[in-house]
Structure 1
Amino acid sequence: MKKTLLGLLLLVATGSAFSQETKFGLKAGVNFANLSFSGDGESVSPSSLTSFHFQGYADFPVSPALSIQPGLGLSGKGAKEDEAKINLMYLDIPVNAVAKFPVSTLGKFFIGAGPYAGIKLSEKYSLDGEEAETEEDSFKSADFGLNFLGGLEINNGLTFNVGYGLGLANVVKDSPDGYSVKNKVFTISVGFLF
């Protein structure tokens, strides 16, 4: 009984601390997306495709220097080669651990990493600027991988962010044994913490 009461008190105290300091943020920016094709000991990456991302997230402080940031957002991925483009849109769900380092009176630098899960919302192909018809989707509906991020959080809430998403899942439905296609995306964004 004592352990249960102590656990409940600890949970309430922790929840109160989180609710007093929790912030919510929005960020949007540009993606430089690519697909990594590998198999038979070789790896090929076509040219980067420029797209966008938009994300909402929460910032739960665990300590003054560490936060957990779960989020939900749209992220354009894919690749291009000459005049052919593959445009993929995902609903990404990241959970990042973020370390923050004060910078005089300006704000904080931050770096972080964590896993993400992605749900494919759309898949489009184009050739010479015109949409190409396909009978069925070639890409799987789910993706997962790791996020790496860094940036500057100004004291007024403005944020400047860079990031890299490293896909770990083979995202193509019918790839031959030993072959895989994985998402890669470099991001630059501006945001605001409330």
Structure 2
Amino acid sequence: MRCFLLAIIMIAGIMGTKAQRVNFGAEAGLSLSSMAIRHQGEQVKAGMTPGLKAGVIGDVRFNDMFSVQPGLYFNQKGYTDNGIKTTLPYAELPVNFQFRFPAWHGHFFTGGGPYAAYLLNDKNIAFENQHIENTISNVKPFDMGININGGYLLRGSAFIRANAGFGFMNLNGNGNTENALRNCSLSFTLGYMLSQ
């Protein structure tokens, strides 16, 4: 996590010297998330649960087609297990590499990049499946993964975005290749850039 943050600071410093323009914005919307659960070598089906995703972003633009977007979000992830919903509130820091293409009265955009996240509260994590609960005694607070996103930006600076996130970290505190927890999420957000 510290190495990830240091890399972001270094990249931001380099980008700041070469960027043509730096903009800021905010976005919020719906997050639909679940967990990829592996218990004793077998996949366990977990349902999706809705949550809130909201945060602020920067847009470091190098030209009309390419920019780098760091952000800081509150992202409610989680899962549903046998009808019981569990919400996992994360502070999430993504860095997306974005490409955009003019169309109609704005631009289509697409991109992706890594993210790092920290679980803000792990007190309400529970598994209805007793075997899984006995295997998982604690959940690791740090998560890292990758985001893929796309959307449409209006000339008036409003935008809509769909984002898919896939966690790489095994969040099972006692995990191994046979017992694993990994976040996966899909979000739909509306946002506004302060200047374009």
Query: TM class by shorter-chain length?
Result: 0.7 to 0.9
Uncovered stretches (5+) of structure 2, i.e. residues with no partner? 1-14, 129-136
Q: Deviations over 1:25-83 (max 9, x none)?
A: 10000011100012555323311011111010100012210100001110001101233
Cα contact 2:42–2:178 (8 A) shared by 1 = no
The CA distance in 2 between the partners of 1:115 and 1:84, in whole Å, is 30
Structure 1 or 2, whichever has the larger Rg, is: 1
- CA deviations on 1:113-153 (whole Å, 9 max, x unpaired) are 1000001101224799xxxxxxxx72111000000000000
Question: Match for residue 88 of structure 2?
Answer: 88
Range with bigger deviation, 117-126 or 86-95: 117-126
Identity %: 26
Judge conservation of contact 1:34–1:45 (CA < 8 Å) in 2: no
Quote the offset at 1:173 in angstroms. Answer: 1.0
Instruction: Report what 2:108 is aligned to.
Output: 109
Mapped partners of 1:126, 1:180: distance in 2? 15
Superposed displacement of residue 21, structure 1: 2.1
Higher strand share: 1
| Partner SS, residue 121 of structure 2 | strand
Match of 2:7 in 1: none
Question: Do 2:81 and 2:127's aligned partners in 1 also have CA atoms closer than 8 Å?
Answer: no
Rounded to whole Å, the distance in 2 between the matches of 1:44 and 1:160 is 33
Indicate the residue corresponding to 1:56 in structure 2.
Answer: 56
Q: TM-score normalised to the size of structure 2?
A: 0.80
Length-normalised TM-score, structure 1 = 0.81
Distance 2:155 2:169 in 1: 37
Unaligned runs of 5+ in 1: 1-13, 129-136
